[in-house]
Amino acid sequence: MFTAATAAALVMTATSGFAACDDGEIVVKFAHVTNTDKHPKGIAASLLEQRVNDEMNGVMCMEVFPNSTLYNDDQVLEAMLQGDVQMAAPSLSKFEQFTKVFRIFDLPFMFSDIEAVDAFQSSDTGQAMKESMTRRGLLGLGFWHNGMKQMSANKPLLVPEDANGLKFRVQNSDVLKAQMSAMGASPQPMAFSEVYGALQTGVVDGQENTWSNIYGQKFFEVQDGTTETNHGVLDYMLVTSTDWWDSLPDEVRTQLNTIVQEVTETRNAAVGEVDAAARQAILDAGGVIRELTPQQRAAWLEAMKPVWTQFEGDVGADNIAAAQSFNA
Ligand code: LMR
| Nearest-angstrom CA–CA distance, 99 and 315 | 10
Ligand 1 atom with least separation from CA of 207: 3
Q: Cα-Cα-Cα-Cα dihedral of 216, 217, 222, 224, to 10°? A: -50
Q: Structure pTM?
A: 0.93
| Nearest-angstrom CA–CA distance, 37 and 117 | 24
Phi, psi of 137 (to 5 degrees): 95, 10
Contact 239, 89 (CB under 8 A): yes
Question: Exposure of 31 by Cβ count < 10 A (0-12 exposed, 13-18 middle, 19+ buried)?
Answer: buried
Distance 91 CA to ligand 1 centre (A): 6
Ligand 1 proximity of 171 Cβ (cutoff 6 Å): yes
Ligand 1 proximity of 209 Cβ (cutoff 6 Å): yes
Q: Could you tell me how many residues make up the chain?
A: 328
The one-letter code for the residue type at 9 is A
Ligand 1 proximity of 34 Cβ (cutoff 6 Å): yes
Ligand 1 proximity of 45 Cβ (cutoff 6 Å): no
Ligand 1 atom with least separation from CA of 32: 8
Give the DSSP per-residue string, 189-228: E--GGGHHHHHHHTS-SEEEE-HHHHHHTTGGGGSSEEEE
Q: Enumerate helices (H) and strands (E) in the chain, giving the number of each.
A: 15, 9
Q: Whose CA is nearest to atom 6 of ligand 1?
A: 192
Distance 33 CA to ligand 1 centre (A): 7
324: helix, coil or strand?
Answer: helix
Q: Whose CA is nearest to atom 1 of ligand 1?
A: 192
Q: Whose CA is nearest to atom 2 of ligand 1?
A: 192
pLDDT of residue 18: 52
The interface predicted TM-score (ipTM) is: 0.99
Ligand 1 proximity of 33 Cβ (cutoff 6 Å): yes
Strands 87-88, 289-291: pairing kind? unpaired
Residue to mutate (ligand 1; options 150, 180, 192; most atoms within 8 A of CB): 192
End-to-end CA distance of the chain: 61
pLDDT of residue 19: 57
Ligand 1 atom with least separation from CA of 89: 8
| Nearest-angstrom CA–CA distance, 109 and 104 | 10
Q: Which of 294, 173, 210 is nearest to 34 (CA)?
A: 210
Ligand 1 atom with least separation from CA of 195: 3
Contact 146, 272 (CB under 8 A): no
| Nearest-angstrom CA–CA distance, 180 and 190 | 14
pLDDT of residue 328: 81
Give the pLDDT of the chain (328 residues) as one tens digit per residue: 333 443 444 334 434 445 589 999 999 999 999 999 999 999 999 999 999 999 999 999 999 999 999 999 989 999 999 999 999 999 999 999 999 999 999 999 999 999 999 999 999 999 999 999 999 999 999 999 999 999 999 999 999 999 999 999 999 999 999 999 999 999 999 999 999 999 999 999 999 999 999 999 999 999 999 999 999 999 999 999 999 999 999 999 999 999 999 999 999 999 999 999 999 999 999 999 999 999 999 999 999 999 999 999 999 999 999 999 999 8
| Nearest-angstrom CA–CA distance, 156 and 103 | 29
pLDDT of residue 95: 96
Please state, in angstroms and as integers, the Cα–Cα distance from residue 176 to each residue in 112, 120, 155, 192, 313, following that order.
17, 20, 21, 15, 16
pLDDT in tens, 255-314: 999 999 999 999 999 999 999 999 999 999 999 999 999 999 999 999 999 999 999 999
pLDDT in tens, 85-116: 999 999 999 999 999 999 999 999 999 999 99
